C-alpha cells in the first residue's frame, strides 16, 4: 500500500487495495476479535491496542516516526471499513488513537511528537481528543473550559509565542463525552484563552493525564465504550504544552475532524456491509411460505435497496478521502466533502442495520446476536464528531460560500 492514492481509486480500488482490505477483515476476525472479547466493556482495552500496534495498523492512523508524514485519508477509510466489518471494537480503538493524537501530529512540536506519537502508534500510550463539554457539543465553538493566565504568563494581551517567559495557564472546567477518558495517558484539550470571541479564542494544549488537578469519571453508555467526563481543577499548562499558537485551537480541531469525518463514514459502511451480508445469507436459507425469504419480492427488493445505498455511501466516502489526499489535507471542498460523506454513510448504516434486524426478526434482538451488537454500535456515529444536523449545516454553509465566490467572480 502506498501512502497516497490516485483520485480514480475513489471509484475502483486497485487489486492491491482489495487484497489489503480482505487481509484486514481476516485479521479482524482471527486475531483482533479474541483480544476484543477479552476486554472489559466500557474500558480501554490495552492488550487490543498493543496488538493493533504490533500488526502495524495503528501506524496507518498515527504518524509513527519522523518526518511525521500526514496519514492517507483513503488508507484510513479502507482500514476502518475493513475492521468495522469483522471487529468493530478494534476499529474503534484504532480510530480513537488517531483522533486523540491527530492534533499532535498536525500542530505539535518536535518534542511533543517524539514523546507521544511513536508510543501511540505502538499501542503503548492511549490518546484522547477532549473537545466536547456539557454545554458545547454540536456547537463546539461555544466551549467554556477556561485557560486563565498565571501572573507573568501568556494571556490574551500577552506574548503569544512559544518561547520566553516562565508563566502558563490554569485550566478550569469540565469536558464530557470524551472517548478513552478517564483512562488515557494524555489528552488534546481545547480551552478558551480569549484572544478573540467565539472560535478564535480557543487554544489547543497537550495535557498528560497525571497533571495535578485533572480527574475523571466513566460514563455508562448504550454501546459500552471507554467514554467519560474530565474535571479540570486549576490544571497547570505551560507554553511547552501548546499545540500550535494561542487562538489556533479551533482550526486545529477542525483540521483533525476533516481528516477523520470521512473515515467515520467508512466505519459506518463497514457495519452496513456486515449487516447486508448477514441478511443475504439469512434470506437465502430461511424457509418461508414454501420457499426461502429471498424468493419474496418484498425481501429481494429490500436487499437491493440496502446494497445500493451501502455502495453509494462507500463511493462518497472514498471520494471525500481521495479529495483530502490529493489536496494535501486542504482545499476549498474538503470540509464539504467530509461532511457529506459522514452524513450519508452514517444515516445509511442506520437504515441498513435497522432493515437487517427487521429481516431477521426476533432472533436479531437476542443479546449476543451480530445484529443486536451492530444495532447498538451504529447509533452513535450519527452523533459524534459532528451530529447529522451539524453536517447538514456545514454542507449548506459551504454551498453558499461557493455560490458567493461565483457571484463575485462570474
Q: What is the CA radius of gyration of the chain?
A: 22
Rounded-to-integer distance, Cα 232 and Cα 172, Å: 5
Residues taking part in catalysis: 385
Cα 348 to Cα 141, 351, 382, distances in angstroms = 28, 5, 10
Kindly report the backbone phi and psi dihedral angles of residue 171, in degrees, each rounded to the nearest multiple of 5, phi listed first: -90, 125
Half-sphere exposure of 356 (CA within 13 A, CB side): 30
At a CB cut-off of 8 Å and minimum separation 6, what does 295 contact? 288, 289
Nearest to 356 by CA among 385, 377, 386: 377
Rounded-to-integer distance, Cα 189 and Cα 206, Å: 6
Would you give the DSSP letter of residue 133?
Answer: B
The SS3 of residue 221 is coil
Task: Quote the cell numbers at residue 391.
Answer: 453536517
Provide the angle, in degrees to the nearest 10, between the axes of the packed helices 110-122 and 46-54.
100
Burial track 245-275 (b if 16+ CB lie within 10 A, e otherwise): bbbbbbbbbbbbbbbbbbbbbbbbbbbbbbb
Amino acid at each position: 500500500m502506498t501512502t497516497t492514492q490516485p483520485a480514480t481509486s475513489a471509484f475502483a480500488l486497485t487489486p492491491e487495495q482489495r487484497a489489503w482490505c480482505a487481509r484486514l477483515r481476516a485479521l479482524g476476525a482471527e486475531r483482533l476479535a479474541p483480544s476484543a472479547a477479552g476486554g472489559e466493556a466500557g474500558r480501554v482495552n490495552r492488550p487490543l491496542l498493543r496488538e493493533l500496534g504490533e500488526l502495524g495498523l495503528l501506524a496507518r492512523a498515527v504518524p509513527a516516526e519522523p518526518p511525521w508524514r500526514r496519514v492517507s485519508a483513503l488508507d484510513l477509510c479502507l482500514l476502518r471499513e475493513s475492521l468495522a466489518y469483522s471487529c468493530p471494537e478494534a476499529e474503534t480503538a484504532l480510530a480513537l488513537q488517531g483522533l486523540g493524537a491527530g492534533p499532535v501530529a498536525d500542530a505539535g512540536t518536535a518534542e511533543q511528537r517524539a514523546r507521544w506519537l511513536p508510543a501511540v502508534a505502538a499501542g503503548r500510550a492511549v490518546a484522547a481528543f477532549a473537545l466536547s463539554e456539557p454545554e458545547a457539543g454540536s456547537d463546539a465553538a461555544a466551549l467554556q473550559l477556561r485557560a486563565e493566565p498565571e501572573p507573568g504568563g501568556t494571556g490574551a494581551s500577552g506574548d503569544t509565542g512559544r518561547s520566553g517567559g516562565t508563566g502558563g495557564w490554569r485550566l478550569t472546567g469540565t469536558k464530557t463525552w470524551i472517548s478513552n477518558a478517564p483512562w488515557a495517558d494524555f489528552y488534546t484539550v481545547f480551552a478558551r484563552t480569549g484572544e478573540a470571541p467565539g472560535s478564535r479564542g480557543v487554544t489547543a494544549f497537550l495535557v498528560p493525564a497525571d497533571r495535578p488537578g485533572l480527574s475523571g469519571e466513566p460514563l455508562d453508555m448504550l454501546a459500552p465504550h471507554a467514554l467519560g467526563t474530565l474535571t479540570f481543577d486549576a490544571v497547570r499548562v505551560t507554553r511547552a504544552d501548546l499545540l500550535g499558537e494561542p487562538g489556533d485551537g479551533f482550526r486545529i480541531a477542525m483540521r483533525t475532524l476533516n481528516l477523520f469525518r470521512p473515515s467515520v463514514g467508512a466505519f459506518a459502511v463497514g457495519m452496513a456491509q456486515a449487516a447486508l451480508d448477514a441478511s443475504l445469507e439469512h434470506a437465502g436459507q430461511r424457509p418461508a411460505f414454501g420457499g426461502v425469504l429471498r424468493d419474496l419480492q418484498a425481501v429481494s427488493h429490500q436487499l437491493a435497496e440496502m446494497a445500493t445505498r451501502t455502495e453509494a455511501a462507500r463511493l462518497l466516502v472514498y471520494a471525500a478521502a481521495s479529495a483530502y489526499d490529493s489536496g494535501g489535507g486542504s482545499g476549498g471542498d474538503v470540509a464539504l466533502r467530509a461532511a457529506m460523506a459522514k452524513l450519508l454513510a452514517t444515516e445509511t448504516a442506520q437504515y441498513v442495520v435497522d432493515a437487517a434486524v427487521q429481516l431477521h426478526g426476533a432472533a436479531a434482538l437476542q443479546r449476543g446476536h451480530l445484529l443486536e451488537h451492530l444495532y447498538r454500535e451504529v447509533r452513535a456515529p450519527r452523533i459524534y464528531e459532528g451530529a447529522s444536523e451539524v453536517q447538514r449545516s456545514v454542507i449548506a454553509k459551504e454551498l453558499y460560500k461557493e455560490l458567493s465566490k461565483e457571484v463575485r467572480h462570474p
